Amino acid sequence: MLAVDERRIAALIAAIDPGAFRSLLELAHRHEQAGEPRAAAATYRTALQSIPRMLSPAARPLLEHAKAQVDANDDALKAYLAERLAGLRKRHGNARLDRADKAVDILTRKRRVFRPQPSFMYVPELPAIEFYDRAAFPWLDALEAATADIRAELVQVLADGPAVLEPYVSVDGIPQERWRELNNSRRWGVFYLWKAGEAVAENLARCPKTAQALEGWPQCRLEGTGPTAVFSILDAKTRIPPHVGVNNARLIVHLPLIVPPGCGFRVGAETRQWRPGEAFVFDDTIEHEAWNDSDQPRAVLILDVWNPALSEPEREMITALTAGVGDFYGELPAYARGAA
């Protein structure tokens, strides 16, 4: 049990306006005084989920005390569960237990829960998975096998200088605050092979081996947004802020090509490193961000694909829905096309 300044905690609680929040704090404090740290932590945890908006800043030490009690209890609970589940883990040593392990981390507040929050279209009842099992995408093997050729063609393109790239974020007027630094900047530059559903013939002609490798790519047909295939170049000392994609009917593929040390990528609660030649698939409608803390540019080939949980009729419906929205407005609104 953590050391407690009983009088100070009691005084801070008494200073809070009467209500459910104060009642929970009083109950938690009584548990502490009675030497019941687990009951106190459970009650503090409930209280921390219902903090009043207008709570005085003077109550901050009380909140820090409550959080410390909950954190300590979560650590003890995780250790207890690890010991309790050790036998089962040993018995199922060859089984994948990723979901159960993540459930423990969420239960003990070591892992946040992130859900898809697309800026445009949300298709319900699709799984909320940050990084997908690549077994569902067997065509990635052939793409990865072409990594050296793809990288070589990209290097030739980049030899023409920064002007060969387009800014990925290009917003007329005032962009969202998160994009202000990258708007119309080649610090996050791209070279499109397919853009918003259309092949960029001139660029594909410059990268014939890449174009050949993309022949096995199962394209995601979404008028105005897909298919898209693009070389994404993140400059040195540059970060892409947390953001979400437009539509959870599609997933995003990264094939890392040039990855200096100091680069990283987070989707939801999971962070991964890019490894050249090792592709992965993720749901970009779950909050994600990227960073390059090195002194060299980082380069990735990015593709979009259908979410494998969708049936063929559902895919046709989503394609028609997207086209219908575009026809209604004359073109797809900015929030349906990507970063804005």
Do 192 and 325 fall within a single domain? yes
C-alpha span between 163 and 158 (Å, rounded): 9
pLDDT of residue 8: 85
Separation between Cα atoms, residue 190 and residue 24, nearest integer Å:
53
- Helix (H) or strand (E) run with residue 232 in it: strand 229-234
* Residue 290 structural domain: 134-336
> What 3-state DSSP class applies to 292?
strand
Strands 250-258 and 229-234: unpaired
Number of domains in the chain: 2
Instruction: Please state whether beta strands 250-258 and 298-306 pair in parallel, antiparallel, or not at all (unpaired).
Output: antiparallel
Which of 57, 91, 125 is the last residue before a domain boundary?
A: 91
Q: Do 186 and 315 belong to one domain? A: yes
Q: Do the domain assignments include residue 110?
A: no
Measured CA to CA in angstroms, residue 149 lies from 19, 44, 152, 190, 209 at distances of 66, 57, 5, 18, 6
Q: Are residues 157 and 85 in the same domain?
A: no
Give the end of a domain, one of 25, 56, 91: 91
- What is the distance between the alpha carbons of residues 97 and 184, in angstroms, rounded to a whole number? 44
Examine residue 236 and state whether it is found in any structural domain, yes or no: yes
What is the amino acid identity at position 190? V
Q: Which of 151, 183, 161 is nearest to 258 (CA)?
A: 151
| Domain assignment present for 98 | no
Q: Does 101 fall in a domain?
A: no
Residue 81 and residue 223 share a domain: no
If asked whether residues 84 and 151 sit together in one domain, one would say no
Q: What is the pLDDT of residue 54?
A: 84
Residue 125 belongs to a domain: no
188 part of a folded domain: yes
* CB-CB contact of 221 with 199 (8 Å): no
Considering the domain boundaries, does residue 279 fall inside one? yes
Both 70 and 216 in one domain: the answer is no
Same domain membership, residue 302 and residue 180: yes
**Are 195 and 304 contained in the same domain?**
yes
Answer with the one of 60, 91, 122 that is the final residue of a domain. Answer: 91
For position 258, which CATH number holds?
A: 2.60.120.330
Residues 30 and 155 placed together within one structural domain of the fold: no
Is residue 180 within 8 A of residue 245, CB to CB? The reply is: no
Residue 4: what pLDDT? 53
The verdict on 158 and 21 lying in the same domain is no
My answer on whether 212 and 295 are in the same domain is yes
* Cβ(179)–Cβ(171) below 8 Å: yes
pTM of the model: 0.88
**Is 129 part of any domain?**
no
Per-residue pLDDT tens digits of the chain, which is 340 residues long: 344 577 888 888 888 888 889 999 999 999 999 999 999 999 999 999 889 888 888 889 999 999 999 999 999 999 999 999 999 999 998 898 999 999 999 999 999 999 999 999 999 999 999 999 999 999 999 999 999 999 999 999 999 998 999 999 988 777 788 899 999 999 999 999 999 899 999 999 999 999 999 999 999 988 888 999 999 999 999 999 999 999 999 999 999 999 999 999 999 999 999 999 999 999 999 999 999 999 999 999 999 999 999 999 999 999 999 999 999 989 888 888 875 4
- How much is the pLDDT for 340? 42
CB 262 within 8 A of CB 292: yes
Q: What is the pLDDT of residue 53?
A: 84
- At 96, list the tokens: 């994948």
Q: Are residues 198 and 314 in the same domain?
A: yes
